[in-house]
Amino acid sequence: MITYSLTGQSAVLPEDRSDAMYHKYEGGGMVIDGPSVLVRKSFLEKFSASANYYVDNVSAASIDVLANASPYIEKRQEYSLGLDYLINKTTVSTSYTNSKENDYLANTAYFGISQDFFGDLSTLSIGYSRGWDSVMKTGDPDFEEFADRQNYKLDWTQVITKNWIASLGLETVTDQGYLNNPYRVVRYLDPTEGRGFRYQTEVYPETRTSTAVSLRSMYYLPYRASIKFEARTYSDTWDISASNYEFAYIHPYGDHWIIEGKYRLYDQTQAEFYRDLIDPLNNEQNTEFVARDKEMSAFSDYSVGLGVSYEREFKTTGFFKKFSVNLFVDYFQFDFENFRNVLVHDTNPGEYAVGSEPLYAYDATVTRFYFSIWY
């Protein structure tokens, strides 16, 4: 029979299992897909080791790329190693992740402790990670910048009743160094240019601190189904504020099937230094920091998702215990409040005045298909 729960409770080692996944993101001119393989195995009854290999094959023809450059293809590979140690009601976890692409190297080390209290009805988890990245630029062998990232997490999970469990989380991230994308540009109003504007490289602050608070809850219904709810708020020193809400319903069918549906809303304000178009006549060119990355703008999105899982135990006793096959598909709709579609000047020249182009919007689909086997 399939089981399901909210993570973060009960001091037990993760089950021995292997996962093989194919993932694909398609939307806004971007296609990102690739495989992922995870292997986890316990030993000496107190340790659990894991290894993960993850690939992103990126084919980029987004609005940012088409406005300033040519479509490109690249590959990102990620390797992770992890180790969990269980002693009484305490779990100590550590991991290391290395990610590599042609113009970006990222390394992350993590350490965390989880402790059960009050008859395993409460769990406190504390985590810290440190990341150090190298940023390069294709076509410029002399360009190399660095970024340092630190992440602090605190999570309290509580079993409220036999059918209800909830979790409250706090996360703070501090970033320092080169924090923007070397390829991104801002646009300036310039009547002497053919399209009425010109581009210049973005300039970001070299520090950023963000804080997020989340509340997650799961309630088990009398007929074996369950409902999940999550609310999260975010704010940072770049003046971005965001919130998202997610509701999910999980319904078992027979002894082997689970169907899950979810709905999510997200809303974000712009960074203090974001500008879709800078007007030199208003002295905006004197702003110390400027950005036109659409992720720094004000926007909202919603998503709906559907997932199907099939799990079955092996009838004969052997090395393998059970397996599952899972398919999840999410649809996203993004709507930007102050990021405009500059591509209209190429497709419909002269139809729109600079600064009055249509607001940009796009949809995207995320597909995850994976197979898991327990042993």
Residue 67 lies in a domain: yes
Please choose, from the candidates 324, 295, 308, the residue with its C-alpha nearest in 3D space to the C-alpha of residue 262: 308
**CATH code, domain with 187:** 2.40.160.40
Question: Is residue 351 left, alpha or beta, with left meaning phi > 0 and alpha meaning psi from -120 to 50?
Answer: alpha
Residue 3 lies in a domain: no
**Residue 280's pLDDT is what?**
82
Res 118 pLDDT > 60: yes
Residue 195 lies in a domain: yes
Residue 10 lies in a domain: no
Residue 6 lies in a domain: no
Residue 4 lies in a domain: no
Of the two residues 11 and 178, the one the predictor is more confident about is 178
Query: Whole-angstrom Cα distance, residue 236 to residue 238?
Result: 5
Q: What percentage of the chain reaches a pLDDT higher than 90?
A: 85
Work out how many domains the chain is built from and give that number. 1
Residue 318 lies in a domain: yes
Eight-state DSSP code of residue 270: P
Q: How many CA within 13 A on the CB side of residue 278? A: 23
Residue 162 lies in a domain: yes
Q: Which residue is associated with the tokens 């052997």?
A: 318
Res 8 pLDDT > 60: no
**Residue 3's pLDDT is what?**
42
Condensed to tens digits (0 to 9), the pLDDT of residues 27-72 reads 999 999 999 999 999 999 899 999 999 999 999 999 989 988 889 9
Share of the chain residues as helix, strand and coil, in percent rounded to the nearest 5: 5, 65, 30
Q: How confident is the model at residue 288 (pLDDT cuts 50, 70, 90)?
A: confident
Range of the domain at 155: 22-374
Say which range, 17-26, 91-100, 317-326, has the weakest mean pLDDT. Answer: 317-326
Strands 241-253 and 90-101 turn out to be: unpaired
Q: What is the mean pLDDT of residues 87-112?
A: 96
- The helix/strand/coil state of 310 is strand
Res 9 pLDDT > 80: no
How far is CA 128 from each of CA 13, 68, 96, 109, 185, rounded to the nearest angstrom? 20, 38, 12, 8, 33
In 62-172, where does DSSP find H-type helix?
Answer: 63-68
